[in-house]
Each structure stands twice: as structure tokens, then as C-alpha cells.
Amino acid sequence: MLIQTITPNATYEFAADVRTGLTKPGQKELLSKYLYDDVGSALFEVISRLPQYGLTRADERLLRRHAHGIVERLATPVSVAELGSGSGQKTRHILEALCRRQRTTYYPIEISASALAMCERELSDIESISILGFEREYLDGLLEVAAQRKTDQRLLVLFLGSTIGNFDRSAGIEFLAEVRRILLPGDWLLLGTDLEKSSVQLLAAYNDELGVTAAFNLNLLARINRELDADFDLAQFEHVAKINHEARSVEMHLRSLRPQTVHIPAADLRVEFLEGETIWTESSHKYSPEEVFSMASVAGFRCEAQWIDEQWPFAENLLVAE
């Protein structure tokens, strides 16, 4: 697999985003994409295997059960791009089904080099597959993939798990519209959406007793220390998960346990924290099955098929670009 490198300005962009987020009036924020460095990606793989976190298993169950039916709906030849491939484990079901019909080029798009390497190890044994990875932001990578397509070739984009839920609802629709603008009519998007469920079930999933999710969240501060030479004292922050009923989402925060000052030299920043003040690090929005159809329509897609897991309410949605 060829992994193409990100721009040399990645550290500068990280510092700029940290500065913007931590100086935001009212609620300090950090972008959730920065949770997924090499350490964060490894911790998330552990989270996905926790008994309380049923989302990943639901995602994989649906892909395993319906891979053949999904692939049968696709016109060939088709190449596959995945936004945020992770280890690629659950993607195997789709790729194996497709490779039984045709030789397939698979383009994992990730911001984590270690995740891309893990993906290659996981999937390189599939017959009739070529893997070309891009260490890129989602849309940048997808633009490069689209530029490589052959004249008669369709594109299947995978956006699995619940990553669309990390966007506010309006921003999520705009992101889908951006994806649509890169695609051609008749291309496909397989979209994973986590569905609404009880607050008790959600809080157990996002605040596990073993503390893996807490370690995942706190690693963001450790990453700022490592890469931007900051002096966050991780022992003086705690992980908090809470339900936002109005937004129909789960929010992750890091709460300061005392008044403190943090210095981030690479961002030219000195940040004051009050006791109890939080940094908002991630949201995970939950959807109704019907909502996905309207989101798709507004973004320029038609939802052709939807499969729902009953053990952990979750949907795979096959959208076609109109």
C-alpha cells in the first residue's frame, strides 16, 4: 500500500485550531478529529470492543449480513473509497463480496498513519484487491480518489460507524453535500448512522467503568503536550460524558478540577481555567431512521436501502448520488 503524506503544515494547523478552540468565548472547544492520533486510534479500537459500546458490533453485524445484497445493487466496475477506515476490519465484508465480482481498488482515507498501516495488514490478504491509502482529511483524500477514476468507473464511498454524528446536524448535511459535489450521478455512499436509544445505554457506552473512554479523551491533552510543547497536567482534568437532549446527542468534555493556567508555546497561548470549566471535545448525534432519508435528499442523494440492527439500534444506509 502506498501511504501519501499530509502537508508539512499539519503541526501549524493543529496549533491554530487549538488556539481558536481554547480562546472561544463561553465554551472552550477542541476539534474531535484531533482525538485520533496514533495513541487515540489505538484506544478507540479498544473502546469498540467494550461490552458497553455496542455500536461497532452493530455496524459489523449489518455489514456481515448484508454485504452481498449491498454489492448486488452496485453497477460495476466500481472502486471503493473509505472516509476514516480505522483498522479496516469491518470493511472486509464489503470488499470480499465485491472482489468476488471484480478486481477492486480500495482507497482508505485516514488522518492516522498507524491506522492506515493497520488497515493494510488487515485487508491485504483479500484476493483481487489493490490498496492505495491517503493520509489526508476526508474531502481532500476523496478529491484525489475521484481524480483517479476511469471513464466508465463508478465510485462507492464508505462512511461507516457513527462519524457523521460528530457533526452538528446542519454541518452533517453540508458535509454530505460536499461529498456529493465530488461524486458523479450514479455513484454510491454507504453511510452509517447511530440511532436514538436510552440515556442509560448511551452514558454507559461513553463513560465505561474501565476508564478507556476517559483515557481516549485525556489523550487529546497529552497530544497537545507532545506535539505543541504544552504543560497540561492530566491529573487535574477529568472525562465527562453527558446527554444533550435538545440536540439528541452525547457530548464528551474534559473538566478542570481546579483553577489553573496552561501554557501552549507552539500556539503562542496561555489559557486560564476555572474550577469546573470544561473543554468540549466531541459530540455524537443520534438519528431516527426516517431522518436519514430527509438528510440524504437535502444533500443531493436518494436513500435506496436501509438496514437496521435491532440489538443496538444502528442503521446502514445506501445512498445514490442524483
Task: Give residue-wise pLDDT tens across range 92-140.
Answer: 999 999 999 999 999 999 988 888 888 999 999 999 999 999 999 999 9
258 pLDDT more than 80: yes
Whether 104 and 182 share a structural domain: yes
23 pLDDT more than 60: yes
Q: How many domains does the chain have?
A: 2
pLDDT band for 34, please (50, 70, 90 cuts).
very high
What integer pLDDT is reported at residue 247 of this predicted model? 96
Whether 173 and 80 share a structural domain: yes
Whether 180 and 229 share a structural domain: no
Q: Residue 105 in contact with residue 79, Cβ under 8 Å? A: yes
- Average pLDDT, stretch 190-215? 96
45 pLDDT more than 80: yes
What integer pLDDT is reported at residue 6 of this predicted model? 37
Q: In this predicted structure, which of 44-48, 253-257, 285-289 has the lowest mean pLDDT?
A: 44-48
Q: In this predicted structure, which of 83-87, 176-180, 218-222, 274-278 has the lowest mean pLDDT?
A: 83-87
302 pLDDT more than 80: yes
Whether 65 and 180 share a structural domain: yes
User: Domain residues for 249?
Assistant: 22-35+201-285
166 pLDDT more than 50: yes
Give percent of the chain with pLDDT exceeding 70: 98
User: Does a structural domain hold residue 45?
Assistant: no
pLDDT band for 242, please (50, 70, 90 cuts).
very high
3 pLDDT more than 90: no
User: Does a structural domain hold residue 236?
Assistant: yes
pLDDT band for 4, please (50, 70, 90 cuts).
very low
Residue 104 maps to which CATH number?
3.40.50.150
What integer pLDDT is reported at residue 1 of this predicted model? 42
pLDDT band for 89, please (50, 70, 90 cuts).
confident
Whether 153 and 219 share a structural domain: no
User: Does a structural domain hold residue 108?
Assistant: yes
What integer pLDDT is reported at residue 262 of this predicted model? 98
pTM score:
0.92
pLDDT band for 261, please (50, 70, 90 cuts).
very high
Whether 96 and 174 share a structural domain: yes
Whether 176 and 313 share a structural domain: yes
Residue-averaged pLDDT of the chain = 94
What integer pLDDT is reported at residue 38 of this predicted model? 86
- Average pLDDT, stretch 42-64? 94
pLDDT band for 2, please (50, 70, 90 cuts).
very low
- Average pLDDT, stretch 28-37? 95
Q: In this predicted structure, which of 8-22, 64-78, 187-201 has the lowest mean pLDDT?
A: 8-22
What integer pLDDT is reported at residue 28 of this predicted model? 98
- Average pLDDT, stretch 154-178? 96
User: Does a structural domain hold residue 17?
Assistant: no
User: Does a structural domain hold residue 4?
Assistant: no
Whether 302 and 248 share a structural domain: no
What integer pLDDT is reported at residue 10 of this predicted model? 80
What integer pLDDT is reported at residue 8 of this predicted model? 42
User: Does a structural domain hold residue 104?
Assistant: yes
Whether 99 and 165 share a structural domain: yes
User: Does a structural domain hold residue 264?
Assistant: yes
User: Does a structural domain hold residue 3?
Assistant: no
Whether 127 and 276 share a structural domain: no
